[in-house]
Amino acid sequence: MMALAERKVKELFARADIKINGTRPWDIQVHNPALYSRVLAASSLGLGEAYMDGWWDCKALDQFFFHITRVNLGAHVTPSVKLALEVLKAKVLNLQSKSRAFIVGEKHYDIGNDLYAAMLDKRLTYTCGYWKNAKTLDAAQEAKLDLVCRKLRLKPGQRVLDIGCGWGSFAKYAAEKYKVHVTGITISKEQMKLARKLCVGLPVDIILQDYRDVQGEFDHIVSLGMFEHVGPKNYRTYMEVAHRCLKDDGLFLLHTIGSSTPAPKSEPWMDKYIFPGGVLPSPGEISRAVEWLFTIEDWHNFGAYYDKTLLAWFSNFNKHWPELKKNYDERFYRMWKYYLLSCAGGFRSRYNQLWQIVLSKNGVVGGYQSVR
């Protein structure tokens, strides 16, 4: 039975030009032969958990996942009964309901500000950097924040809603550089506390709140890396909230990771260990959600830059691990490494995308001039 499982997994990996115990950086080294049956039984979840348990290693995980996602290897794996039931549950139930909205905050964003301070840029920006003319992570994140401000055409005194404000990097930047008032909402208690501290003295309000509870009217709305937590059953509700809160002549910039094809739920390992309830939207899902509400003025894809961003985050995380490991164990290190480098490979292969979409309620008179 073990030999059959090994043969099947070897044949599967061969589709992606990956060899078991090979010598190339993207080949994997197997330490526990039970890996093969575990992968066949639990697919990507089994593969990720086996890595966390030390059952296999790879010199370059990002290259390994580049090869896997470039050929969409997951499409060649027959899902288990358990996985099929999970997908069915996601199609029937609203796994991102209001009652579940704060779970990802507790499970991911609240795990430790020390971790994120060590990993991210100096402004604590947990979204893709804009590397067009940047050489460093700090410069790439500054460029991204300024790009957003220019796309929104911010003017002094305007009121901006930031849905999913994180640690307040955009709010602080926009308030300092463009003299606007920003109301940021987050579902993370730790983000809220630190964001308030970082934005002291600025016209910035940070609120612990689900997007469905937002009230008020704003000149512009921005959402950087939050839409991935909304879920397909709530896309229309999300857009209706944004439409209600945006002034008639305002702009709404949606910055989100996306996928070329729709999926009812996240990849199982990522859903269990990193972003519970996270789902990547497809272009069609976004387009349908904005119908009769918004005009799509601009759609900018710079997903290839997320590869560089994730590699920079991993470099920082790895460099600071000697200090971080007093609060996190070795299994966490392997989990976090797997998360960052698997995502880097996915963006490098263009399996995953990063979009900035500019929306208006009534269409910009004369047309919207794209900013790059």
Asked about 245 being catalytic, the answer comes back as no
Tokens 């944004």 correspond to 242
Percent helix, strand and coil across the chain, each to the nearest 5: 50, 15, 35
Q: Which of 58, 149, 165, 343 does the annotation list as catalytic?
A: 343
3-state secondary structure of 264: coil
Q: How far apart are CA 321 and CA 164, in angstroms?
A: 27
Q: Give the CA dihedral 279, 50, 313, 167, nearest 10 degrees.
A: 50
Long-range contacts of 187-192 (CB under 8 A, 24+ apart): 187/101, 187/102, 187/104, 187/105, 187/109, 187/229, 188/105, 188/106, 188/109, 188/110, 189/105, 189/106, 189/110, 190/109, 190/110, 190/112, 190/113, 191/105, 191/109, 191/110, 191/165, 191/166, 191/167
Q: How far apart are CA 170 and CA 362, in angstroms?
A: 26
Residue 305, CA atoms < 13 Å, CB-side half-sphere: 23
Let me know: does 303 contact 354? Beta carbons within 8 Å: yes
Known catalytic residues are 343
